[in-house]
Structure 1
Amino acid sequence: MHSWMMARRGLNQRDLRAMHSMLSAVFFSYAFFLCCFARDTITYPSGSIGNDGQETLVSAGQRFELGFFTPGEITDFRSYLGIWYYKSNRRIYVWVANRNRPLLDAGASFAITEDGNLQISHRNGTSYWSTGLGPTSNPAYREAKLLDSGNLVFGDSNNTLLTTILWESFAHPTDTFLSGMKMSENLKLISWENTADPKEGKFSFQLDEGGTRFVIFNDYTVHWVNGESSDFFSSERMPGGMTNFLFNTTGSVPHPRSSYKTLSSSDYNNTRIRLDVEGELQYWNFEVYTDWSLRWLAPRDKCSVSNACGNFGSCNLYNMLACRCLPGFKPASLENWRNGDFSGGCRSSAVCGKNDTFLRLKMMRVGKQDYKFEVESETKCREECLNNCPCHAYSFVKGEVNKQWDRQPSINMCLIWKDFLMDLQEEYSYGGPDLFVRAAIADTELKAKSCEPCGINMIPYPLSTGSDCGDPMYSIFHCNTSTGKLSFNTQNGTYNVTTIDQDTFAIQDKDVDHCNSSTGGQLPEFNLSFPFKINACYPVVGNFGSNISSQGLVEIVIGWEPPPEPFCTSSADCEDWPNSTCKNVTGNGKMRCHCNSNFRWDGTALSCVQALYGQSGGFSRKNKPVSLIVGVTIASVIVLSSIFLYTCILMRKKAKRRESQQNTERNAALMYGTEKRAWRFWREDKALDLMDETLHESCNTNEFLRCLNAALLCVQDDPADRPTMSNVVVMLSSEAANLPVPKEPAFFIRRGSSGTASTSSKQERGLSSTAFSSSKQETSIDTEVASDEGG
């Protein structure tokens, strides 16, 4: 009958074998799908995930994956539970559960516990993370599910078809904002500690207390604020589409092939916002063919950081040292400033008086003004600021400027800053009206021949930007009055001056290969003519943002030789140089402010200083031997008196050994204390206190300090640091000679035993030959030294 049935159906043995093979393949495929396809749900009591890395949850649409991971850059075993994009080229983590408490070994699991919480717990019973919900009597109704949005939701069905969401990861983000989240005053992004540690870092992104502005905090300090601007000075604002994304609304986002593209809420699935470990807020968009693209970020650079250089400090992206104080202002803390901490800003001695002046700064970005009003002219605006305390700066904006903001009717506006000047930036790319900053005349007062400030740059004498200021020998600078930029012109080209002070200025150059330690900072090809000279050069690193490259840039520090007496046409030109008279003493027809009798010109101090010897104009060469004799005498007295003193001590020892032992220590203490007192005065810049009062009026201080410097060098601890007598002659006879800086002298006496005569003889010879030498066997000085040094 079986054969009959097969015949009736037209089936043969071959057909049966084919049908059997097909059914087997279908069954195997179904079994593989059930057993090997990743799940997206955790239930109670089964379904836990261990931290051995063997199993993960994958969302239904295979967009996100949840599991334990170890950051790739660390070498020790630290594992975290996190969510990342599924099968991305490199793992992009969007959420971490136990970010502040990593697992240090295997043996932990992620599961629903008996009290109904979702928890990471170790087999020893320690909990590393939990949803923190109240206990339930029916944990079997609870389940956790990873959605395609990247949201891990934990709910309770309570034996009904409707599941109640009890907890979700979107309400507890780490450093990433995803589509489906909604920014509120309670939501905060917190950066990772570093790229290898998801622990909470120091930067956070959130809404301010009023819920109107987005703010990035660096600990408790404002790091960046979205939309901080005034009517005429604007900062980088968030794109409109990014704001819509944060508030979970539809709108426009940047598109790589056009300026903007209107997207629906579902299209935001390819968008994310991340707070970087450096406090950078990044706006990413995914494209199928280009992977993830960074579309916007803030702050964009060092100068975009909120008040990057502190109050009255100006930021410049193109300088090696990004911050500097406005003209007439000084760092509030010089030590912090030198260490790269500019948060304290700058201060001025301005007392808000009638004698204050205003510095005109161009192309400056500045924080929002305190108030503004309509005004007839710039004069009225200036008077308003000058007559009201406090008013630190003003800006006059002509009416026609308002047209670019489509403001009608066109009116003149006066902007006033009465508190502090914040968020200052030089060479601001968006431009803006001139900013007039109030400063004390005493802080900005220059010599009669000094040039007007060029933007934020004060031009010290003798440097010159024109024929009517400075000294013609130093006239290779150019000031762009429209931008306030200062340039240095050489035979190699024109270079932007980044910083300038009373002694040096700095320029930048590209592709200079000789600025390194092997050349001592010298640039052979960078030729400079007298009086300019290269002091040093440094690679430019560390102060640029992501949109500015510093590769190949070096900063060259340039100094100059001291100038001769200033040029003059009348005695009025010499009023800023006291004790000088306008005359021609060389017969070349050029008039200069020559120093009067008993004064000489000091090019470093830019003044006529009192001379001890010689005629007007300075020291006469025929009188140099006199100063030499004085200097050598002082040095010789110090050395010879020491030798004489110890000779006396040794002679006394031959007569009364026991008494000489006491005298030796007493006299050593006396000389040691005198030398220490001299060194202390030198170190504390009180060396002139060593000068006899009767010499104060007649003795030249520079000569006295030079002689004292040479004397201290003669009693240095290391013989290699002591000059020869020929070197001493050069030191004291040449004003151009650069004297080394002395180290602290070392003077001591070796104590010998009161033994035999032969031992005493050896001691005496050792004492006379090592009175000024270094030794590890130093004798401690008793309380007489301490009391003398304290005096």
Structure 2
Amino acid sequence: MALLLSRAQAMRKCGNCGPNPVPYPLSTGPECGDPWYKIRCTAGILWFDALAGSSYAIRSIDPFTRRIITRPATLAPKMCVSTDFRSEGMHLNETLPFSVASGNTVFLFNCTAHAPSMNCSPSSACHSYIKEHADFSVCGAAGAGPCCEYRSGGARKDFAIRLHGGECTAYESFVDFNGTVATVGKRWPESGVGIEWVAPQEPVCKASIDCKELLNSKCGVGPSGGVQRCFCNAGFGWDPINGSCQPQTQTHNTTCTGHGKDSHCKVRKKKKMLVPVVVSIGGIVFVLAITGVIFYKKHNQAKRKAKEAKRNKRKEVSSRKMVEEKLMDVVDPLLKEGACDLELETMKSLGYLAVSCLDDQRQKRPSMKEVADEIENLIKVVKGQVSKS
């Protein structure tokens, strides 16, 4: 419970352990780091404490990948037995934010049974390792069980480098080992067990005073509820690497956090909501602009066609009058004598229809149906006039 209610002042970064820096959130004491991420500093050496009293020296720490590399347990003198055999290998506390990282290649020695997930074939690299390392030659001596290998990682988190219930007695581990030369003139890399940690959340608080060590934050409940934490103010984002509230412009990769009306999440959410709105409005304006241009062009084309049709109609009327006048010049004078206006107009229309049928341009000639309809109309007009008289 004391760990759960750690004050914000525990966010202060711990000092070096000898020459070794201790990055946040790792903690070597109650006054620095996050107590959930406890490691131990003894005589200038960092140690990672596991279950059953086993401890492992820390070889390196990378705060950006959130990975600790520890040195594996050594062999007992002149025996193919690891010094942590009593705990069946390295076992981590599953209630803490640490787990075995993926990518560890683990050699198991002096095994009495083969687990399905292990490679115990003669092609396993563990055989070469025994031959090339004098301290492990005891694991290849007469009477020793076979060696096997497996790789950590998968769908489930690992919390142990197991000796498989006592079926094997010793192990060796390499981080990201691919079986090739690690460095020039060296086949095998330095042994190690990769352990990773979960990115820390904002520190837990009970009152505003608990957040005084975390600048630009205040105590409150997050959007998802739960315990109160020191959430960063609007315009700032939680930086899990440095354990501080950084200006948003400097924390592009941090997780959106906050609470209440000043929530960093809400600020970012509003910005995200503006993007589709701006894009949508821009798209509508673009479509309207294109539609306007098309309508303008269509409208101008229609106006030009109307003017052209009007001019053609005038030309057609003028041309028709000229043709009709010329046709009347060749009509027998005897037919024109005593003819009424209707008869003269009928003569002109029939003459023009005949000339149209002889036009040089085929597309201007009337169809047979159009000719028949025109003659029928003329007959109706003449008959109607005669019946009236």
TM bucket, shorter chain: 0.3 to 0.5
**TM-score, reference length from structure 2:** 0.35
Of Structure 1 and Structure 2, the greater strand share is in: 1
Of Structure 1 and Structure 2, the greater helix share is in: 2
- Greater relative contact order: 1 or 2 (C-alpha under 8 angstroms, separation 6 or more)? 2
Larger Rg: 2
